[in-house]
Chain A
Amino acid sequence: IAGITQAPTSQILAAGRRMTLRCTQDMRHNAMYWYRQDLGLGLRLIHYSNTAGTTGKGEVPDGYSVSRANTDDFPLTLASAVPSQTSVYFCASRTDRGTDTQYFGPGTRLTVL
């Protein structure tokens, strides 16, 4: 593979359930990001990681947590899902070449009922 993979592709989840969205990259990029995309609100940053072992909060972190045990994987966890977390979630990584460009995965479409 080349790039970023995300799993699952889509998921319907009952409110209150716990859910982990998976993200794996094979580009060995240090920085990784999680975004949600909602109609009318665009792409909003949830959490970021500058390098393995470190994470930070973005614009809309409430209700989400992340971990970065190694360079390749950056899972996003919803501890207790709520309907307002219905969205499309994108994982991204940033090149280390100094151009600030980010590369996105195919997304996970999540519906919380």
Chain B
Amino acid sequence: QKEVEQDPGPLSVPEGAIVSLNCTYSNSAFQYFMWYRQYSRKGPELLMYTYSSGNKEDGRFTAQVDKSSKYISLFIRDSQPSDSATYLCAMSSSVNAGGTSYGKLTFGQGTILTVHP
């Protein structure tokens, strides 16, 4: 079983729709929860990050974390064609390896979103 599960979609919505993207996870040690947006042939771009359960809003984007259910969501309001991209959830943890530790991000598979005019 993967530590992070994300529905790969694809998801196709009309312009102006509310989009809901979701990830579930199994590792209780995850600390920070992030959403990245990746346009075709580009690098992942950090959209939002959260630490605690609850909602965090940034413009048209709202990130939601429910640690009790091990579930995170990203909502996009008034979606635009420019929002068409792959959305990746990511979760951070500290890994001990060979006497040292490092900060690790565990990614979901990504959800492909298309917003059509």
Contacts and interface: CB of A to CB of B under 8 A. Distances in A.
The reply to whether chain A is a binding partner of chain B is yes
Interface of A: 4, 31, 40, 42-43, 45, 48, 50, 54, 56-57, 90, 94, 99-107, 109
Nearest to B44: A104
B31 A100 contact: yes
Contacts of B108: 42
Rank and list the top 3 A-B pairs by shortest CB-CB distance, nearest first: A100-B92, A104-B43, A100-B32
Given A100-B32, A100-B92, A101-B34, A106 B42 contact: yes
Contacts, number: 57
A109 B44 CA distance: 14
Given A31-B103, A56-B97, A99-B32, A107 B43 contact: yes
A45 B34 CA distance: 17
Main secondary structure of the interface of B (DSSP, over half): strand
A90 B46 contact: no
Given A43-B88, A43-B107, A45-B104, A101 B43 contact: no
A3 B27 CA distance: 30
B94 to A, nearest CB: 9
A42 B51 CA distance: 23
A94 B49 CA distance: 13
A47 B42 CA distance: 21
Contacts of A100: 31-32, 34, 49, 92, 103, 105
A103 B34 CA distance: 11
